[in-house]
Amino acid sequence: MANRDFLTIDDFDTEDKTVLVRVDLNSPMDPEGNILDDMRIRSHVATVKELKNAKVVLLAHQSRPGKNDFTTMSPHASKMSKYLGQDIKYIDDIFGTYARQKISSMEKGDVALLENVRFYSEESLERPVSEHEKTHLVRKLAPLFDIYLNDAFSVSHRSHLSIMGFTNVLPSGAGRIMEKEVTSLDLGKSGGGRPSIFVLGGAKVDDSMKVIEHVLSNNDVDRVLVTGLVGNVMLAASGVDIGEENMRFIEKQGYTDQIDRAKTLLDKFNDKIGVPQDLALNDNGKRIEVGVNELATTNHPVNDIGLETIVSYSKEIENAKTVVLNGPAGVSENEEFALGTREIIKAAAKASYSIVGGGHISAEVLNMGVEDSFYHLSTAGGACIDYLAGEKLPGVEILKEVK
């Protein structure tokens, strides 16, 4: 692994030490409290396995106050025990006497998971490290540990207590997931070889515009291909009448202002931005493909890119040295409109070096069973796109500072 500007597991002697690891086990759950997708839980197993000569305590969250799935970490401990092949002790407490006694009585090789850290109201406050250090959580837990590792890249765009609070009071570094996310995304942005292509879709238009602006201004990539709602906004910006129904949807999502931003980007980087040539409309559940010039007369929503666009995008993607995918090409959860997303994934699997940037598109790669064809599948949504857009993530920056 490259010489990093933060410490990693390799920089610590973990033999018989007590290690606090912030992980992200936040998972979709059904109303009965069953975990529906355990990708994040599985992803942290590598870090925990590497610490088998230590006493490991995991700190994590599930959802947030007010949500139906804001619940205990008990099911997460059971799932992780299965993947780790050893029993993970679930501690029904965060930093009270009970939790501290359980941590103190741990033996080498033991792994424990503390209660949902967001049950403690101060966890989600964004504030300076000096404020976090004064909290009961840090003052009660820090004396019990030798090392703190942040393995929760996907939460590191927030300056939350469990991400920032221990970094100045304990020797601190990155777990394997954090290390791989940063290394892979850095390579995706500028080090994976040219030609380099970003394929941006999904519904987070403002985030995608930030990424386009950042990577093209810095000459990090050669081409950006747009799909999904991002593609619709770009088409509208290029003067295409996308039809009332689709304009109304852009307004409803609050992205009307992004059309002017897209115009500016097209004026500046026109030859570097690929927009769809045809699209698939949803006519009462039926897929109807039309050229972009036929959109003006339709009142059906765009739910995918069309075949012509799929073919031309796929050729570019297959021939690229580096590909970063972020966001689906359409309403991929609907079988009729999953074609664009799946074909783009297949094309990216053939590129020399490809990364999938979190969220729905990572889930689709796993559904297709082609994850082994990708160099890296990000477990992060917001943090991944913020990082690609050149924003500094508090959880990453603090590890660099304390090094």
Burial of 38 (0-12, 13-18, 19+ CB in 10 A): middle
Residue 273 annotated as binding? no
| Band of pLDDT at residue 3, cut at 50, 70 and 90 | low
Helix (H) or strand (E) segment spanning residue 98: helix 97-104
Residue 25 annotated as binding? yes
Question: Which pLDDT tens digit goes with each residue over 135-185?
Answer: 999 999 999 999 999 999 999 999 999 999 999 999 999 999 999 999 999
pLDDT score, position 359: 74
Question: Which pLDDT tens digit goes with each residue over 96-133?
Answer: 999 999 999 999 999 999 999 999 999 999 999 999 99
Residue 176 annotated as binding? no
CB 274 within 8 A of CB 224: yes
Confidence check: pLDDT of 2 > 70: no
Share of the chain above pLDDT 90, in %: 88
Residue 359 annotated as binding? yes
Mean pLDDT, range 286-300, rounded to an integer: 95
Residue 253 annotated as binding? no
Residue 361 annotated as binding? yes
Please tell me the distance from the alpha carbon of residue 403 to that of residue 394, in angstroms, as a whole number: 14
Sign of CA dihedral 113, 116, 118, 122: negative
Residue 61 annotated as binding? yes
Residue 377 annotated as binding? no
Query: Phi/psi at 304 (nearest 5 deg)?
Result: -170, 170
Report the residue count for the chain.
Answer: 403
Domains and CATH numbers, the chain: 9-178 (3.40.50.1260), 192-388 (3.40.50.1260)
- Which residues fall within 8 angstroms of residue 222, CB to CB, at 6 or more apart? 194, 195, 196, 197, 272
| Band of pLDDT at residue 4, cut at 50, 70 and 90 | confident
Question: Which pLDDT tens digit goes with each residue over 319-371?
Answer: 999 999 999 999 998 999 999 999 999 999 999 899 998 778 888 998 999 99
Residue 26 annotated as binding? yes
Confidence check: pLDDT of 53 > 70: yes
Mean pLDDT, range 263-267, rounded to an integer: 98
Q: Nearest to residue 337, comparing CAs of 310, 299, 377?
A: 310
Residue 160 annotated as binding? no
Residue 24 annotated as binding? yes
Residue 87 annotated as binding? no
Residue 360 annotated as binding? yes
